[in-house]
Amino acid sequence: MSDPTDEFSFLTDQAADAGIDGPLPHGERLTLTLPDGRALSALRWAPEGTTAAPVVTFLHGAGLNAHTWDTTIIALGLPALAIDLPGHGDSSWRDDFAYVARALAPDVAAGIDVWTDRPQVLVGQSLGGLTAAAVAASRPDLVRELVVIDITPGIDPSAGPSQIREFFAGPTDWASRDELVDRALAFGLGGGTRRKAARGVYFNSRVRPDGRVEWKHHFAHLAAAAAAAGSAADAASVDGTPQDAVSAVLGEAGWDDLATASAPATLIRGERGYVTDADAAEFSRRQPEAAVVVLPAGHNVQEDAPKALGERLRDLAGND
């Protein structure tokens, strides 16, 4: 594949694919140096011809990046911020491999502090949803509304269909992006067409100084290393603690974050997503005042139903 002019060159095609008419927003890449020297990266969006500060902030899921929200933000039509979680996109990897919500929340809060000027409608999908809840609990001054997409505490945000796990556990570098596009299509990933797969590969990969192409996000490299080591036993434990026990602890931490958060909450499910009816019922039991919405989508609601999601979020955000 030939590289586009810049990372915003896909917007016209993305809007057309989703059936969205109207002017496209203006995007810019931002970088914040954190106190320990790591970089936090984000995309700031504003309607064309304006410089309004963001009113909605987006946090993506594991193995994705800020560009997963592009089409949703086009449909939203409001100033927005989309952050690359640590270990993803153009944000630095963590040396401690701590890609869990409470470890990621302080970095996200630092970005919101610098890049916005008012409490946000904070939207997070999968791992980003759990991180959004942790931000809302620890920094209520930053969050006006909390929207959690296709995740509830206790669900593993890095879980998924076996072909996705196998896809990321394979090679981590290739001779060209075309090879990576071929692999995505062979696994039934990438949106169903070569053009869409090429777009996703461009956003989620980089060319190293030696000319090889590698994943940007740390998860694929960690999964491949574990697979190469034959660490099936290690995959079932963390520091010797059984994985189901780890999930239980993280799940309770997530429920505590939701209970502590003072912002009104909404759960948006994909009807083919990870959140089951039982999960949604538990969410409603623990959060009786929260709204629960179902959209015709899989786990990545922002990619499967971006127009419907953008319109829902615009209603929540209002015209502030």
Q: Which of 67, 88, 218, 299 is flagged as catalytic?
A: 299
247 given a catalytic annotation: no
Q: How do strand 39-46 and strand 265-270 relate by DSSP bridges?
A: unpaired
pLDDT confidence band for 159 (50 / 70 / 90): low
pLDDT at 253 over 50: yes
Select which of 150, 257, 279, 304 is catalytic: 150
- Top-ranked range on mean pLDDT: pick from 82-91, 192-201, 231-240: 82-91
H-helix or E-strand spanning residue 268: strand 265-270
Query: Binning pLDDT at 50, 70 and 90, where does residue 300 land?
Result: very high
* pLDDT score at 60: 97
Respond yes or no: is residue 2 known to be catalytic: no
Query: What pLDDT score was predicted for residue 241?
Result: 39
- Ranking 132-146, 182-196, 265-279 by mean pLDDT, the lowest is 182-196
Our answer to whether residue 150 is catalytic in this structure is yes
pTM to 2 decimal places: 0.91
Q: What is the pLDDT of residue 309?
A: 98
Parallel, antiparallel or unpaired: strands 241-242 and 237-238: antiparallel
The domains of the chain, with CATH numbers, are: 11-157+242-317 (3.40.50.1820)
238 has pLDDT over 60: no
Q: What is the layout of strands, in order, in the sheet containing 173-174?
A: 173-174, 213-215, 205-207
Task: Give the list of residues 6+ apart from residue 48 with CB closer than 8 angstroms, or none.
Answer: 23, 24, 25, 26
Sequence-ordered list of residues with C-beta below 8 angstroms from that of 256, at least 6 positions apart, any chain: 137
Residue of 41, 91, 92, 126 marked active site: 126
Nearest to 171 by CA among 229, 230, 214, 218: 214
Specify the pLDDT at position 234.
Answer: 46
Residue-level pLDDT at 164: 67
* pLDDT for res 248: 58
